[in-house]
Amino acid sequence: MLYYLFEYLDKQFNIPGAGVFQYISFRALGATVLSLFIAATYGKWIINFLRRQQVGESIRDLGLEGQMEKSGTPTMGGFIILASLLIPVLLFAKLSNVYIVLLIITAVWTGMIGFIDDYLKKFKNNKEGLHGRFKIVGQVGLGLIVGLTLSFNDHVKIRIYDQPLLSSSLGEVQRYRDIVHPMVTTLPFSKNNEFDYRTLLFGWLPEEYTWVIYTIIAIFIITAVSNGANITDGIDGLAAGISGIIALTLGVLAYLSGNTKFSQYLNIMYIPNSGELVIFCAAFVGACVGFLWYNAYPAQVFMGDTGSLMLGGVIAVVALAIRKELMIPILCGVFLSELVSVIMQVSYFKYTKKKFGEGRRILLMSPLHHHYQKKGIHEAKIVTRFWVVGIILAILTLATLKLR
């Protein structure tokens, strides 16, 4: 909103300094500062409100050190993240940008799925919360919206520049062509750095129906990353910290992909208008860091599904928007390992129970962070080490821009 206000003031009244809102870097900085301020200032008020509503976490005794001490800690703290994310985005971003609109919808949509789950657990005494199949239906619905929007919206495009033409009167002029409704994405470690979804089924599916494959992939990615973040949210500060690292990396990738000079220098896909996602990622990082003020060990509040499902959903959609979804296995390696650890544990337990009559386990306990807790490692150390792994994976993801 502020972008349009200051654009109007700059054009109509030529007010000094109003033009600074045209710069993505300035608006990203403003979004970060404001999100941190909202989370740090109003987070305490939200926590006290949740306490008054008696929205405390019910803890099952799983034999983990210090676990039962957390009983009664307010949950549904994801509202702190949502507020400190959406308010700066609404103020500093271009609200006409298709990617911003898509991400606002994503944040609200996944936040509502998580809220319904938390609400059923806390106020309806339903220990299971929202049934898993209804969560999946909600995630599939969002995947359809995202996949179809990125497949058919005319504002979604990539731009390919040809060799520059030299002109004495105009200087250096570049020719380019826009590819609307692109079915390509970034393929890490490959020389040309691109993968065309139209080649996925070796021509079996007509090109005009490639959007079907792309939408299915979008649904799978959103569901996987959202659930991965949800499972990772098990000990103080883990999900918020890893999400902040991932969002910062995606912000860098969005800036490079939305900048003509950097995209040409790095020989990566240039995506017009995707630079606006830097503002969203900046607010996202600020919201995660601000939430850590209260969620770091020992946590004063838990984010609940309201926050964790939203974090994963937003990360997935940002990656899809900037055509970096194939980097998710690297960048979101912590989420992936947590998700796979649960799948392996449950599958192996069921298999051995059917075969031997007694279920056996691969890990001491799943998800993976609980395995390390069972080994006697303090949760604060586990979180720090997972953050270090997240930073290494983020660096490796950025390194794929040059490692081909």
Binding site for Mg(2+): what residues are annotated? 230, 305
Rounded CA separation 295/380 (Å) = 12
Alpha carbons within 13 angstroms on the beta-carbon side of residue 319 total 30
Question: Residue 337, SS3?
Answer: helix
Rounded CA separation 224/331 (Å) = 14
Strands (E), 170-328: 171-180, 184-186, 194-196
Contact 219, 139 (CB under 8 A): yes
Tell the residue number behind the tokens 């838990």, with chain if given: 302
Give phi and psi for 236, each to the nearest 5. Answer: -60, 120
Residue 259, Ramachandran bin (φ over 0: left; ψ between -120 and 50: alpha; else beta): beta
User: Pick from 140, 136, 150, 36: which is nearest to 103 by CA?
Assistant: 150
Contact 134, 117 (CB under 8 A): no
Rounded CA separation 138/135 (Å) = 5
Report CA dihedral (70, 76, 82, 87) to the nearest 10 degrees. Answer: -100
Contact 306, 82 (CB under 8 A): yes
Rounded CA separation 77/305 (Å) = 9
Cα 20 to Cα 15, 23, 25, 273, 337: the distances in Å are: 11, 6, 9, 18, 43
Q: Which tokens hold the place of 325? A: 């979804």
Helices (H), 124-208: 132-152
Rounded CA separation 29/329 (Å) = 29
Strand partners, 171: 167
User: Pick from 303, 121, 150, 126: which is nearest to 217 by CA?
Assistant: 150
